[in-house]
Amino acid sequence: MSRRSPRSRLGDHLDLLSSRFPFDRSLPEDPLSLVRPFSPDRRASEIAGVLASTLAVGNVRSIRHALTSLLERMDGDPGRYVERFPSHRWRMELHPWKHRWIRADQMGFLCVRLQEIYRRYPGGLEEVFLTGLATAGPGAEAGARFASGLHALSEALRWGSHDRSPTVFEPPPGYLALFPTPFALGHPACKRACLFVRWMVRRAYPDLGLWTKVDSSLLQVPLDTHVYWIAYHIGLTRRRSRTWPTVVEITDRLRMFDATDPVKFDFVLAHTGISGDCPKRRDPAVCAPCEVRTDCDLWKGHSLRPIASSGVAMTAAPLVRGDRTPPVRPSRRRDPEARASSSAPPSRARRGGG
Ligand code: SF4
């Protein structure tokens, strides 16, 4: 019998985590659940998806509340709203809507940009993304090609570098920062744009699979705080910043488990953190059923020990000589976020950052 490498064992563990994951518990918390009802209408889905992903900062409940409120102000039909924008009442319709630092006038300008994109590109946002992909050149790696697609998408949503036609509004203050590009200074992770493209491209549940010309093998992981924390602690990266190079490194590692669908674990990893299934500290009661516990840095050098007489099912015990689990890594190799989390459990319902 051949011995399995640690790498393939992690792939098996992630598969197990995914196969047992309660998607139906977590999907209602995810902004994607408010986009899915539009899926018979591709344009409305794209617009609802752009709105949802743009608002995907902070607590999932506040994201859902803000998106629901915005869609209601669009009479529940974002496709038609964008098509007819601006009505003379648009400021009254959208104001005083606000989500954290994102304002109604910025959403109004986004409607202007979307309207112009659909006028110029019959294939909509997928066509814009493909235009960017084509600029990367045939020899470019997946991360670089995807970054070029995101860059084109970002530029078109910001101010239309492809067409440069005049619009009726100037971008309001703070608008351009809503659509970062991987090529910007500091190479941001562009989590929200990666999330939007994942929703549009992946065909497997719960994603929508509406973009049929973009290969799912190119997708890059939407790197939020939860995904990053778990990815770091199961050894998918040792980078300490959530930037584009980290996105590419994690995705390249995940591609070893499934070359055709490297981001298939994203929803599961994100919602493992959002739901509190991962306490981000060594908690025997919560970590006991975790499928990636043997891969997790926090459990290196520790095992579970049942306590029959107590109400607590398990306790963590340091491994004695002879255990095959590798020793604990030096704590200085962990990132500051991880150390902070080990003493203070994270918020149970955030999908922030990016
Ligand atoms: S073992 Fe615990 S801390 Fe580590 S990933 Fe699993 S749930 Fe999170």
Q: For ligand 1, atom 7, name the residue with the nearest CA.
A: 278
What is the Cα–Cα distance from 10 to 4, expressed in whole angstroms?
A: 10
Q: What is the pLDDT along the chain (354 residues), one digit of tens a residue?
A: 445 555 569 999 999 999 999 999 999 999 999 999 999 999 999 999 999 999 999 899 999 999 999 999 999 999 999 999 887 777 778 888 999 999 999 999 999 999 999 999 999 999 999 999 999 987 899 999 999 999 999 999 997 644 445 555 678 999 999 999 999 999 999 999 999 999 999 999 999 999 999 999 999 999 999 999 999 999 999 999 999 999 999 999 999 999 999 999 999 999 999 999 999 999 999 999 999 999 999 999 998 876 555 545 555 665 543 333 333 333 333 333 332 333 333 334 445 433
Domain edge (last residue) among 220, 247, 264: 220
Residues 311, 240 share a domain: yes
Residues 252, 119 share a domain: no
Residues 339, 243 share a domain: yes
Residues 117, 57 share a domain: yes
Task: Tell me which of 226, 283, 290 to substitute to probe ligand 1's pocket, judged by most ligand atoms within 8 Å of the beta carbon.
Answer: 290
How many Cα atoms within 13 Å fall on the side-chain side of residue 214?
34
How many Cα atoms within 13 Å fall on the side-chain side of residue 237?
24
Contact, 34 vs 68, CB < 8 A?
A: yes
Residues 183, 272 share a domain: no
**Chain centre to alpha carbon of residue 216:** 15
Domain edge (last residue) among 183, 201, 220: 220
Domain edge (last residue) among 187, 220, 253: 220
What is the Cα–Cα distance from 18 to 265, expressed in whole angstroms?
A: 7
Residues 96, 49 share a domain: yes
Residues 346, 203 share a domain: no
pTM of the full predicted structure? 0.85
Determine the structural domain holding residue 41 and report its residue range.
Answer: 31-220
Ligand 1 is surrounded, with C-beta below 6 A, by: 230, 233, 278-280, 286-287, 290, 292-293, 296, 298-299
Residues 192, 279 share a domain: no
Number of domains in the chain: 2
Contact, 78 vs 51, CB < 8 A?
A: yes
Any idea what the Cα angle at residue 271 is, between residues 326 and 38, rounded to 5°? 150
Contact, 53 vs 199, CB < 8 A?
A: yes
In a domain, 26, yes or no: no
For 67, counting Cβ atoms within 10 Å of its Cβ (0-12 exposed, 13-18 middle, 19+ buried), the class is buried
How many Cα atoms within 13 Å fall on the side-chain side of residue 172?
13
The dihedrals phi and psi of 317, each to the nearest 5 degrees, come to -130, 135
Residues 174, 38 share a domain: yes
Residues 233, 211 share a domain: no
DSSP secondary structure code for residue 290 in this structure: -
